[in-house]
Structure 1
């Protein structure tokens, strides 16, 4: 950073913002518009959250012109990063910020869901707390509606407050076309073709609850949000289920002995 201290204040600060966004580990952040940073209304209350607030703000907003030693510069630099993160959480729920984050979401900048059945669904960053230093950023999958840790240690160290608890929900409220259809496919553990008993019972319960929810939604004239199943797939599943029941009946009729409890249905 020192080699740029001799440049003009404008060039120095502009370089800092560009450098921050382009640095490894900061890919989740979008660039905050300068007019948003210079509007003091958007910074309300942050002066109590950031050490050396005014110096950090001067660095980020292109008016820093003080001669300071290396230790002081490092502290101001750290405060500037923290300030940028806190402002970022506010900016990404604005119209312009949502549009920028939507572009990152579409390009899978935040990664893809590791769940196989989600078919590489793009993720969005989400915080578990709105106050800093409580938890690191997580990644939300809108298809399975679960949270995941970032793969990179650089991303995993980002404070979740820099994205907040509301951003990912607001994004899909403003852009409902981005909400993917919920999948009805489920992995069924099997032993020699027979479903494992404990998992099969849990899956039957989940299927029943899901069907009840879909019926309630249809009764109120609302979309269920689930992808439409093909009739052929439903018939195939029914035939498969009948075949399993017949196979079990044959086993008991032939006197094959007791089936291991808790293994097959």
Structure 2
């Protein structure tokens, strides 16, 4: 009879532990309700963090709520985003008002919130804090690399072909070949290019010149050997080359890749005069020394060239002034 008595005592102790455990849980829940703090990840996940973590949104950075709450940063956006108030409340995780019951569908507000955040994101990445956030992504190759072979895996940045939404999807800009490409993955085809704009990519490399390739490139013996048959550009060890020092402080501080593809048939170059010959290769050519960059003026004309000297500039200015003087507005009757 002693064994059943022990079982009963053990059962009583277990019941007391369960009751005390529930009591502790209730106390913890009361603390969470009172202070709005919790250690669970779902309680600290904001709408902005959730939006940036979605598949296909890896190019976005998290915009600070202080930037969104500043009315100056939102100038003109209220006319572009439908359901402005409801979209702002969703982005900032604010409890909606009772008037939101008039909205026919919540998906409409979600689309407006995505549009609002994208347009705010376009302006945020032009600020100092936004550029720094994108620098961290760029150095980690979060945006990918250039698909051009002769750029040798240069990191790219996202950009748009228009600042207005609904025109085109996001593109990738390469600072080495100065061209744009479509993202390699199809999950980025739903991202609007206006969410990054036409200014960010170029302002990014103007602000961080150490990440931009230099505008000049001179072929070396190692480059010529790498172009020999049977060897790829990646076969040349970059550690064997001396460190790159740019003598021009106004240019990029990174070693560029200036090789250009040359079409060949049985080892012979295809003539540019041929109907199937190469076209516009000069667009990718780079000067071989920084001194050549100083031989042109701000218009891109040769300074020592008599044909495009100061005389022509003066003549152009006189012609422009003369046209303005001869301008006679139409007189209304």
Provide TM-score, normalisation by structure 2: 0.57
Aligned to 2:330: none
Q: CA 1:168–1:80 in 2, change beyond 3 Å: closer, same or farther? A: same
1:47 counterpart = 2:78: yes
Once the two structures are superposed, the pairs formed by residues 50-199 of structure 1 within 5 Å of their partners are: 50-66=81-97, 72-181=105-214, 182-198=256-272
Check the 8 A contact 2:47/2:93 in 1, yes or no: no
Counterparts in 2 of 1:121 and 1:39: CA distance versus 1, 3 Å: same
Contact 2:258 2:286 in 1 (8 A): no
Matched with 1:36 is: 67
State the structure with more CA Rg.
Answer: 2
| 1:220 Cα offset (Å) | 6.3
Shift in alpha-carbon separation, 1:111–1:34, aligned structure 2, 3 A:
same
Return the offset for 1:204.
10
Q: Show the counterpart of 1:244.
A: none
Alpha-carbon separation, structure 1, partners of 2:279 and 2:119: 42
Distance in structure 2 (CA, Å) of the matches to 1:199 and 1:14: 61
Shift of 1:95: 0.4
Q: CA deviation at 1:118?
A: 0.4
Q: Relative to structure 1, is the Cα distance of residues 214 and 24 closer, same or farther in structure 2, using a 3 angstrom cutoff? A: same
**Between structures 1 and 2, the one with greater helix share:** 1
TM-score by length of 1: 0.71
The CA deviation at 1:196 is 1.9
Most deviating of 175-184 and 21-30: 175-184
What is the root-mean-square deviation in Å for CA atoms of aligned residues?
Answer: 3.2
Distance 1:127 1:199 in 2: 35
Residue of structure 2 equivalent to 1:241:
none
Equivalent residue for 1:206? 282
Instruction: Kindly indicate whether structure 1 or structure 2 has the higher relative contact order, using CA contacts under 8 Å at least 6 residues apart.
Output: 1
Match of 1:219 in 2: 295
Q: Which moved more, 1:13-22 or 1:25-34?
A: 13-22
Residue ranges of structure 1 left out of the alignment (5+ in a row):
1-6, 222-265
- CA-CA distance at 1:194 after TM superposition: 1.6
> Using a 3 Å threshold, how does the CA distance of structure 1 residues 213 and 48 change in structure 2: closer, same or farther?
farther
Report the CA distance shift for 1:203/1:45 in structure 2 as closer, same or farther (over 3 A): closer
Cα displacement (A) at 1:191: 2.4
